[in-house]
Amino acid sequence: MVFNSYTFIAFFIIMLILHNLPFSWTAKKRNLLIASYVFYAAWNPPFILLLWLSTVVDFFVGRALYTQENKHKRKVLLVISLIGNLGMLCFFKYGGFLLENFTHLVNALGMHYHPAKPNIILPAGISFYTFTTLCYTIDMYKKESEPVKSILDFSLFVTFFPHLVAGPIVRPPQLVPQFQIHPACLECAGWLILHLKKACLYLKKQVSILLHDPI
């Protein structure tokens, strides 16, 4: 699902309606999370498993990093997060490139090696959500922010559809507090108008860039 499609417009209208129904704040967050998964799965459903894996592993690794006092164990936990995230990213993004160069190297050494070309499909947004969860575990390792207490809030932080496939990469303090505070505690009308203005300015800037420097 892409932002400039009729499907997304219908999806967004349905989400706005559901979000403004008299549900509890927790129920609204669950609706947003489910909607974000639907948004992502609309492109290629099986790849949602990678998103779940990255979310669950780094939620528990991040919590353990923050509470663990043993330096050796903390380094092991950080390495697990690094290998898991960067390994997944390297396989899907650079697997074909690495295999091709390995094949050239082996053949240059006199060995005849001609593997079948890998049919690796790059999951949408993998760089964004991988580095988002990785930034979280690094923050927990450095103790630069507190761990997210709820897996619902953390999952929504990673998966929230406006930034899931197009960025930017965000850190927990930038987004998680907005999920933790009920909007009834905020000046909703002013908040909505402010962010709609920001969205319009952002779209205007992107259109201007495309007009002056088309791809």
Residue 147 has pLDDT above 80, yes or no: yes
Provide the 3-class DSSP secondary structure of residue 31. Answer: helix
Alpha helices (runs of H) in 20-125, residue ranges in sequence order? 25-41, 48-67, 71-108
Which residue carries 């390495």 as its tokens? 79
pLDDT score of 9? 82
> Are 59 and 151 a contacting pair, CB within 8 Å?
yes
Cα angle 169, 121, 44; round to 5: 75
pLDDT tens readout for residues 49-84: 989 999 999 999 999 999 888 989 999 999 999 998
pLDDT tens readout for residues 159-209: 888 888 776 788 888 888 888 776 654 445 555 566 566 666 666 665 666
Cα angle 41, 128, 160; round to 5: 55
Question: Where is 177: in which H helix or E strand?
Answer: helix 172-180
- Residue partners of 38: CB distance under 8 A and separation at least 6: 11
